[in-house]
Chain A
């Protein structure tokens, strides 16, 4: 692979193509936009430095997302001891223009915002393995084959983990909607 020989222009092209995906995926995994930007940088540096380990027969997208996920996972591991509940209940990290308008905001917009917030909260409260598999399938839209490459496991394992993760998500989502939130499931 040309990147392995230090091809920076190709790297710059890959960076341009994948930076949004990588940072947004990492953000959804770790729930912190500033951290996602830092980790996104780390992911691309790792991609650059480890290009020699890239297998040409593989899928570049899967490989890049796998590196990004590993960076996010390392971060989550290192952060585990200093997790605070108030940090788990993350907002979007961005102030939505519709959120603070008070009475002027139409109810359906408020409801939609509330629903989105709930999805984000439930995702963050899921165990990271379940969160990862849901994001790869439902946020990134990867195929089973691509997920197997990213996660380094068999397709059958991917399927069973996905179904189990969605079941956990559904259960937590229901509890959240019914107001039975109990913080992190992790």
Chain B
């Protein structure tokens, strides 16, 4: 092999991808060729330099800025560190109706389909229309949020280009108007970000309101009675909601919401699985029925086990239908009230 061919082998050599024959040939060439030895040394030095490039800490404001943009203007606070005794209190506060919205939304869609199949035509046309309308409104708000985000990104990109041009001009001229131009651009950026964030927030609020309508609970229920239901029932489900909170939900809720957590756990991804488990370990505790003072942590496997009662398939189906009927009656009540 000549010197050029040998130099082409530096990277495969580093990755240990050369055949033993090729490796021997490279080694022999290096022993004889001082220039290639120097080049290899420089190559290794350069690659080591890339590997040792420093990593700079990202400013604290970065995370807050991203979360703010994701959420409109509300930044989620990390869960407070609490002792096990305190945790139950914190836990209770986190169970709230809006937190059920995402799960109930899924439940609604599935329920609508299920009830239609089950009882064919049992849903009044007006009620179905209301559900469809609410769902459309919700989809629209999501769509608008996405579009606004794209618009914002486009404007940011153009702004960045303008800033680049201003910087280029600055290096070529002493004209004070260039500095003024940069100031105007900076002010425009602030104005634009604020305006778009405000608009985005309003659209987000609209989506939240629509979701709340979709998930409107039966009027007699509030957070406290929901907790009581959760504590009384032999099965309580876990929900990761649209705000990222883990919540207990009572037995009547559709099992689909639990699937969200299960899919998070079961997806072939160690990192999201770790996150699910970590969140569960840190933030979730379940009141064991018949042991009101007791408190224990549950892991996902335990939840899975709790969901698999030793019932015959017929009995499971009967309970399932009952649960749907109960849910549907409550939903009818709430929708009648809402619209």
Bind each other: yes
Q: Give residues in A with beta carbon < 8 Å to B.
A: 1-2, 5-17, 19-20, 23-24, 27-28, 33, 35, 37-38, 40-42, 44-45, 48-49, 56-61, 74-75, 78-79, 82, 84, 86-87, 92-94, 115-116, 118-120, 122-123, 134-135, 138-139, 141, 159, 162-163, 166-167, 169-170, 173-174, 177
Query: Would you give the shortest CB distance from A44 to chain B, in whole angstroms?
Result: 5
Query: Would you give the shortest CB distance from B247 to chain A, in whole angstroms?
Result: 11
A60–B39 Cα gap in the complex (Å)?
38
Query: Would you give the shortest CB distance from B312 to chain A, in whole angstroms?
Result: 33
B314 within 8 A of A: no
A18–B245 Cα gap in the complex (Å)?
21
Q: Give how many B residues have a beta carbon under 8 Å from the other chain's beta carbons.
A: 67
Mostly helix, strand, loop or mixed at chain A's interface? helix
**A56-B267, A61-B271 known; A45 vs B58 contact (CB < 8 Å):** no
Q: Is the CB of A8 within 8 A of B243?
A: yes
Query: Would you give the shortest CB distance from B5 to chain A, in whole angstroms?
Result: 11
Contacts of A13 in B (CB 8 A): 275, 278-279
Q: Is the CB of A167 within 8 A of B160?
A: no
Q: Is the CB of B56 within 8 A of A6?
A: no
- The residue on B at minimum CB distance from A35 is B160
B17 within 8 A of A: yes
Q: Is the CB of B39 within 8 A of A10?
A: no
**A9-B245, A12-B244, A139-B53 known; A19 vs B58 contact (CB < 8 Å):** yes
Contacts of B165 in A (CB 8 A): 82
Q: Is the CB of B39 within 8 A of A174?
A: yes
Q: Is the CB of B264 within 8 A of A1?
A: yes
Among candidates A1, A8, A12, A134, residue contacting B272 with C-beta atoms closer than 8 Å: A1
- The residue on A at minimum CB distance from B59 is A37
- The residue on A at minimum CB distance from B51 is A138
Mostly helix, strand, loop or mixed at chain B's interface? helix
Query: Would you give the shortest CB distance from B188 to chain A, in whole angstroms?
Result: 15
Interchain residue pairs A-B with the least CB separation, the first 7: A9-B244, A119-B49, A56-B267, A6-B242, A163-B11, A166-B11, A138-B50
Contacts of B49 in A (CB 8 A): 115-116, 118-119
Contacts of A15 in B (CB 8 A): 63, 66-67
Among candidates A20, A56, A167, residue contacting B11 with C-beta atoms closer than 8 Å: A167
Contacts of A174 in B (CB 8 A): 39, 42
Surface stretch bound by A, among B111-119, B149-157, B175-183, B302-310: B149-157
A14–B191 Cα gap in the complex (Å)?
29
B127 within 8 A of A: no
Query: Would you give the shortest CB distance from B214 to chain A, in whole angstroms?
Result: 14
Among candidates B63, B71, B157, residue contacting A78 with C-beta atoms closer than 8 Å: B157
Q: Is the CB of B47 within 8 A of A138?
A: yes
Chain B 48-74, CB-CB to A under 8 Å as 1, else 0, gives 011111111111001101110111000
Among candidates B146, B157, B168, B272, residue contacting A75 with C-beta atoms closer than 8 Å: B157
Query: Would you give the shortest CB distance from B28 to chain A, in whole angstroms?
Result: 21
A17–B57 Cα gap in the complex (Å)?
13
Q: Is the CB of B245 within 8 A of A166?
A: no
Query: Would you give the shortest CB distance from A8 to chain B, in whole angstroms?
Result: 4
Among candidates B243, B271, B279, residue contacting A60 with C-beta atoms closer than 8 Å: B271
A116–B51 Cα gap in the complex (Å)?
11
**A5-B102, A19-B58, A166-B43 known; A10 vs B157 contact (CB < 8 Å):** no
- The residue on A at minimum CB distance from B78 is A12
Q: Is the CB of A86 within 8 A of B46?
A: no
Q: Is the CB of B160 within 8 A of A79?
A: yes
B263 within 8 A of A: yes
Contacts of A11 in B (CB 8 A): 70, 244
Query: Would you give the shortest CB distance from A112 to chain B, in whole angstroms?
Result: 10
Among candidates A94, A162, A173, residue contacting B56 with C-beta atoms closer than 8 Å: A94
Chain B 236-249, CB-CB to A under 8 Å as 1, else 0, gives 00001111110000
A9–B57 Cα gap in the complex (Å)?
22
Query: Would you give the shortest CB distance from B46 to chain A, in whole angstroms?
Result: 4
Among candidates B17, B47, B275, residue contacting A10 with C-beta atoms closer than 8 Å: B275
Q: Is the CB of A167 within 8 A of B8?
A: yes
Query: Would you give the shortest CB distance from B257 to chain A, in whole angstroms?
Result: 10
B81 within 8 A of A: no
- The residue on B at minimum CB distance from A22 is B58
Q: Is the CB of A2 within 8 A of B264?
A: yes
Q: Is the CB of A166 within 8 A of B47?
A: yes
A33–B39 Cα gap in the complex (Å)?
32
B269 within 8 A of A: yes
A9–B171 Cα gap in the complex (Å)?
45
A118–B164 Cα gap in the complex (Å)?
24
Q: Is the CB of A7 within 8 A of B240?
A: yes
Q: Is the CB of A159 within 8 A of B243?
A: no
Contacts of A92 in B (CB 8 A): 54
B161 within 8 A of A: yes
Contacts of A139 in B (CB 8 A): 50-51, 53
